[in-house]
A and B are shown apart, each in its own frame.
Chain A
Amino acid sequence: MTGVLPIALDRATRIVQVLLNSGKEYVCLMHLHKELEEEKIKEAFQKFSGEITQLPPIRSAVKRQERKRNVYYVDILEIEGKDILFRIGCQAGLYVRKYVHDLSKFLCCGCHMQQLVRSKAGPFNDKSMYTLHDLKDAYEFYKEENLLEKASGKEEEIRKIILPFENAADHLGKIWVLDGAVDPLCHGADLYVAGVVKFEESIKKGDLIAIFTLKNELICIGSAEMDSEELLKNEKGTAVKTTKVFMERGSYSKK
């Protein structure tokens, strides 16, 4: 598989955890062993959308037990002879190779997955991704001593490639807090509703939440104990149970 692979650096390393369960999208080229009618192919894809059941393949990191996974959408991009190019948006943990295998069993026709490219991983997608070569070039350019351009020119390329780690939380529910609430959160304390300044209307109890300062810096991740209605109404209580802290302690305390 090639395509989008989010990589977190240094103190942001643990943010990848919030991407593990996020939705994914792949573009897949599958090759049939004999030509089939377009109608029959479309019928098969229609059957394999929505909630499906999969038994993970022999070579897999997870327990070999049938499990339900959601196919949010599947779109046939092109059918040319025995080749089918399709795009699939799915829940994390769906094996596309197995999906193709199960499709072929339904079609009573041998087939295999020829190529797989990941086009979305949570908020990251193939409209904005860079190779290791791009990164190396941008870093070398940034480190160059003898450029005539002003300092900001040197940074342009690398700033396109290395993004603030807050971007990795773009798909989560968001809550912004008072400056005074920041340091306790950095020490692992839960977020009390009194510290909440603003929040997204779609928040439900149990949702994975990203907590930000009013400067939009990511402080920590947690689990919502209140939904958006309660966040607005309540004057006290625990709003979010903190599970993962990123901001350095002391960032928001008087020196």
Chain B
Amino acid sequence: MECKLPFEKIKRKIIVRINAETNAEFGCKPEDRTVEQLIQYGIISLNKPSGPTQKR
């Protein structure tokens, strides 16, 4: 059985409207961020532990 959520089935082909480049003077690629910057704009996929009312 295909176990995919709707967004996982969407075709992600990219269409280019104009050719353009980006100036290195501004901004920073996400993968080049320092750890400090990463924490400022970060997200964590947390493995949540059991809550206090849950049976163990």
Find out whether the CB atom of A132 lies under 8 angstroms from the CB atom of B15: no
A interface majority secondary structure: mixed
| Closest-CB distance, A121 to chain B (whole angstroms) | 8
Q: Write out, one digit per residue, whether chain A residues 1-33 have a CB within 8 A of any chain B CB (1) or not (0).
A: 111111111111001000000111100000000
A132-B49, A231-B17 known; A217 vs B27 contact (CB < 8 Å): yes
Chain B residues with a Cβ closer than 8 Å to the other chain, count:
44
Contact of A9 among B6, B33, B44, B48 (CB under 8 A): B44
Find out whether the CB atom of B14 lies under 8 angstroms from the CB atom of A201: yes
Find out whether the CB atom of B47 lies under 8 angstroms from the CB atom of A200: no
Residue A101 CB within 8 A of the other chain = no
Find out whether the CB atom of B46 lies under 8 angstroms from the CB atom of A6: yes
Find out whether the CB atom of A165 lies under 8 angstroms from the CB atom of B47: no
B interface majority secondary structure: loop
A5-B46, A197-B20, A213-B22 known; A89 vs B41 contact (CB < 8 Å): no
- Which A148-181 residues have a C-beta within 8 angstroms of B? 155, 158-159, 161-168, 171-172, 178-179
Q: Write out, one digit per residue, whether chain B residues 22-46 have a CB within 8 A of any chain A CB (1) or not (0).
A: 1100111111010100111111111
Residue A252 CB within 8 A of the other chain = yes
Query: What is the CA–CA distance of A142 and B38 in the complex, to the nearest angstrom?
Result: 13
Find out whether the CB atom of B16 lies under 8 angstroms from the CB atom of A198: yes
A163-B45, A216-B30 known; A171 vs B7 contact (CB < 8 Å): yes
Return the chain B residue nearest A142 by Cβ. Answer: B35
Contact of A130 among B2, B5, B6, B46 (CB under 8 A): B46
| Closest-CB distance, A43 to chain B (whole angstroms) | 16
What residues of chain B lie closer than 8 Å to A252, measured between beta carbons? 26-27
What residues of chain B lie closer than 8 Å to A132, measured between beta carbons? 46, 49
Interface CB pairs A-B, < 8 A, 24: A2-B54, A3-B48, A10-B41, A12-B42, A12-B43, A22-B7, A75-B3, A89-B3, A131-B49, A159-B35, A161-B44, A162-B35, A162-B42, A162-B43, A164-B30, A168-B43, A179-B23, A197-B18, A199-B14, A199-B17, A202-B11, A213-B22, A231-B15, A251-B26
Chain B: residues with CB nearer than 8 A to chain A?
Answer: 1-8, 10-18, 20-23, 26-31, 33, 35, 38-51, 54
A-B pairs, 8 with minimum CB distance: A23-B5, A164-B30, A214-B22, A5-B48, A171-B7, A129-B47, A162-B42, A9-B42
